[in-house]
Amino acid sequence: MLRAIIAIFSSAALVQFCAASEIVGLINRGDIDEARRQLEQSSSVSHRDGTLLYARALLESDGQRSLQFLEAAEKSGVSAEYEEDIADLKILFNFANGDYRSVIAMSESYFKRWENGRYRPEILRMAAIAYEHEGKSERVTRLRNQLSKENPEDESGQIGKLDRANELYHAKKYGEALKIYQKLADSKHDAISAPAIFMTAHCALKENHVDDAIFRYNLLKEAYPDAVGLDGLMDDLSRLEKKSEDLQAEKITGTSYAIQAGVFSDKNNAKNLVKRLKQYGEPVELGEKTISGKDYYVVYVGKFQSAEKAMAFKARLEISEKEAFQVVAR
């Protein structure tokens, strides 16, 4: 009789676990509405089930309530797989909340339990940032080097290098930062390449290499026309364009000006722009530039003896082409 009762309860628990796991599966597959429907149909008793509480945490839009459900799920008990998921989510919550000391403590606990866990790369990164906020520079460097070394070709490993470059940039070590950014600019991962190109332009600006910054801006515009920060970078470049009081010295040195209209990795795209820009009656030149062994094609329009004339033509070109361009010294 006792065995029969135990069997009945075990069978019911298994069915409940399978149902709860199915809801989590629906969430992971993005079928949120169906997951909510099934969760609402579950019995009030089953609401104390750890896996269902975990599902509730995933569906909860309020961060604090989600954390409460995660903690309740831990207490009620979940499978080992979900335990690791919960540990990661709790670290993410504290990271987003700016509680860096908790991030550090929870990260160390995570690594002790799951030394080579599924979330190791992202938690290494969060731990490094947390230590950075706590002023532990040696620990930061060690974690970022560890992240890069463990995942050299993966996006997570390259993010570690990107973070290291950003660290150097904010320490005003622009030359060191630039070396890292230039290597990452050729990454096959867009999430790495785009910010790396963006930051090479900023390094050039900090070193007062305006023409190089303009080249990097155009390179970013060609590869990632919708990149975040592109307009802000354009504004920074515009503020640094030549002013009229510099003209006399420029005339003495024989400097001329052109409009840099685009930078392309595909020569045919550059040639197409050359053809289109010839309609404006100014000379159009197709130049080449090699960076890190890769060829780029730069389109220049005009050859002006003063910055004022170049700026006037640039304004006309921008109105006609509905694009932003830059004046460069040639």
Smallest Cα–Cα separation from 238: which of 140, 315, 155, 126? 315
**Amino acid code (one letter) for 167:** E
- Identify the pLDDT of residue 47: 59
Whether residue 281 is predicted with pLDDT greater than 70 in this model: the reply is yes
Residues contacting 253, CB < 8 A, separation 6+: none
Q: How far apart, in whole angstroms, are the C-alpha atoms of residue 130 and residue 101?
A: 7
Q: Is 98 left (phi over 0), alpha (psi -120 to 50) or beta?
A: left
* Window from 100-104, 196-200, 315-319 with minimum mean pLDDT: 315-319
Are the CB atoms for 142 and 107 separated by under 8 Å?
Answer: no
pLDDT of residue 48: 75
Per-residue pLDDT band for 9 (boundaries 50, 70, 90) equals very low
- The hierarchical CATH code for the domain 252-329 is 3.30.70.1070
Q: Name the strands in the sheet holding 257-264, side by side, starting at the edge strand that comes first in the sequence.
A: 284-291, 294-304, 257-264, 326-329
In this prediction, residue 213 has a pLDDT band, given cuts at 50, 70 and 90, of confident
pLDDT band at 319 (very low <50, low <70, confident <90, very high): confident
Report the alpha-carbon distance of residue 200 to residue 293 in Å, rounded. 16
Question: Which of the listed ranges 23-32, 118-127, 317-326 does the model predict with the highest average pLDDT?
Answer: 118-127
Predicted pLDDT at 4: 37
For the chain, give every domain's residue range. Answer: 15-78, 252-329
pLDDT 10s digits, 100-153: 999 999 999 999 999 999 999 999 999 999 999 999 999 999 999 999 999 888
pLDDT band at 241 (very low <50, low <70, confident <90, very high): low
Q: Are 54 and 85 in contact (CB under 8 A)?
A: yes
Residue 282 is predicted with a pLDDT of 93
Mean pLDDT for the stretch of residues 172-196: 93
Which pLDDT band holds residue 195 (cuts at 50, 70, 90)?
A: very high
